Structure 1
Amino acid sequence: MDPIAEAKRQWIAHGWADAADAMAAFSSVMRAHQIMYSRVDSVLKPLGLSYARLELLRLLSFTRDGALPMASASARLQVHPTSVTSVVDRLEKDLLVRREAHPTDGRATLVVLTVAGRTRVEEATAALNAEVFTQPGIPQADLVQMTQILARFRQASGDFTAPVQYPDPL
């Protein structure tokens, strides 16, 4: 039995039919998150990483010089600065990143990817791609549709604003 389908049936039976579809959708997304997170965690844990740690390493690896101000990392990852500090502390302890003074802003601290960090993020990304992302258990067309639906929800919830569409140059 699908417990979410049963919960929806109960919602309707108790007079909450107008909320039943949304309850089922929200519950489904939350359960799917648990399943997806578990799959990702099973790949990253042997590499000594969590998804939060991987996200920061991957973000740094995408930059030109492997460095970002801590505040920029917080904004781009959409997490509280305290969370970034905690992740950086753990990554620094494992010698995967280091902190440096910002060269032009005395108030800012850069988080810098080390050679070991670059190696680890590439290894983790290859493992995630091979074991999870190329075999997600969801058909490609559904993945695209799901991402689009969730992006609309996230945008409507204030998670991000649509980028400005500039005209093509003449």
Structure 2
Amino acid sequence: MALPRPLPTDPLAEAKRQWLAHGWTDAADGMTVVTSVMRAQQLLLARVDAALKPFGLSFARFEVLRLLAFSRAGRLPLSSVVARLQVHATTVTSTAERLVRDGLIRREPHPHDGRAAMLSLTEDGRALVERATTALNSEVFSRPGMSSTDAADLVAIVARLRKDAGDFAEPRPQPDPL
């Protein structure tokens, strides 16, 4: 698939110009921030999707597998997966059902809470997430498209935005958030 040719001008700069021309001066910078971050997310997600496609994984499926692989026993309560991934329980449940169907995880009863479920990584799931992680590391994460300094600055800025939005609270979890 051929990459699209770059546009001759930045459409977000033009959008900001239009915002200013229409007298929305107090909102122009915020509109530019929001649309810039959303466009960057689209660009990064396209790279992630391309890296994960050979493994038949979406980023949501990868995140569940990777989280389980990071856990000591390769299993976590469904509620912990929901909390750590910061997505709605319905989304995790749906993703988990597809992973179960594909033999990558098992859904098991919680040993102490009859109403809760445990998600457990299978050997096939562990092998797949390791291969997918290697691909993501080499194709996306090791070269995110900016310098190390810019990456650290961006992560710090976004962390402040997330903290101010209530994404996490003080005291800071250990290790410190990026």
**TM-score, reference length from structure 1:** 0.94
Runs of 4+ off more than 6 Å:
none
Match of 1:52 in 2: 60
Match of 1:15 in 2: 23
State whether structure 2 residue 140 is matched by structure 1 residue 126.
no
State whether structure 2 residue 105 is matched by structure 1 residue 97.
yes
Query: Could you tell me which amino acid in structure 1 is paired with residue 97 of structure 2?
Result: D
Equivalent residue runs for 1:19-98 within 5 Å: 19-98=27-106
The DSSP-based 3-state class of the residue aligned with 2:143 is coil
Count of paired positions:
166
* C-alpha spacing 1:7/1:165, structure 2 compared with 1 (3 Å): closer
Counterparts of 2:94 and 2:43 in 1: how far apart (Å)?
25
Q: Percent identity?
A: 57
Q: CA deviation at 1:124?
A: 0.5
The DSSP-based 3-state class of the residue aligned with 1:98 is strand
- Show CA shifts across 1:9-52 (max 9, x none): 11111111121111111110000000000000011111010000
RMSD: 1.3
* C-alpha spacing 1:52/1:165, structure 2 compared with 1 (3 Å): closer
Counterparts of 2:85 and 2:169 in 1: how far apart (Å)?
15
Query: Could you tell me which amino acid in structure 2 is paired with residue 80 of structure 1?
Result: H
Q: CA deviation at 1:114?
A: 0.4
Match of 1:151 in 2: 159
Q: Which blocks of at least 5 consecutive residues in structure 1 are unaligned?
A: none
Query: Could you tell me which amino acid in structure 1 is paired with residue 54 of structure 2?
Result: P
- Show CA shifts across 1:72-131 (max 9, x none): 111111111111110001111110000111112212110000000000111010000000
**TM-score, reference length from structure 2:** 0.90
